[in-house]
Each structure stands twice: as structure tokens, then as C-alpha cells.
Amino acid sequence: MRKTYPLQVAGRHPDRVLDAIKHDVRKYLKRERRRPLPAEVDFWDFQCQCGLSAETAQPVHLSAVIASIDAAAKEQATQVYVEILTTHGKRKPRPVMPDAQLLPENEEDNLPE
């Protein structure tokens, strides 16, 4: 999704316009997460950018997109640009601990005498 939202619409309260933008972003994320996953993909990942225009958009984490929209509204901007691209996410396996770091099998070995 690459979209420029106007923050000031004639005849509408700015808070309602902001709520509509947030709703649209959340609705898009829900729709993308419902899509079936391809083989060997663990989850949907999102690459996000947000700014006052497409040229000045900065990469942000998914959890900071709504905060970026709020920040643009506080600056009295006339528009905000939001870009959310869906990518394939693959979980990394946990590192295997060597045997020397494992706990002993019997707890009695660690008791003081």
C-alpha cells in the first residue's frame, strides 16, 4: 500500500479524518495478515515508511506507523504519506547451547553437604 492521505478535509473534523486514516491502515494490515502463507514462510513481515510526502518518507517500524501519523497531524501538516509493503518473514532458529552449559541431570549433585 502506497498512499497519501489528506489530513485536512473541508467539512470534516480533523480528529475524525485522523481516525479514518488509522482505521484504513489497520484494516489493510488485518487483510494482509489473513492471506495464506506460501510454503517455507513463517509469517508476513511489513516494511513501512511514513512521512509528509513520498520523497521525505523515512523507514519506520510497523508499531510506529500510527505514532508517525499522529506526529504529522500534530505538526499541522496537510497530508501524510504511508507506505506498507508486505514481505515474507522467516524465523531464525535458536542457537544450540553446548553441553558444558547445560544443567546437570540430577539436582542432588548441586546440593551442599
Single-letter amino acid code for the residue at 66 = I
Instruction: Report the C-alpha gap between 18 and 6 in whole angstroms.
Output: 9
Over the stretch 34-75, which tens digit does the pLDDT of each residue have?
999 999 999 999 999 999 999 999 999 999 999 999 999 999
Task: Specify the pTM.
Answer: 0.79
Return the H-helix or E-strand segment holding 72: helix 65-74
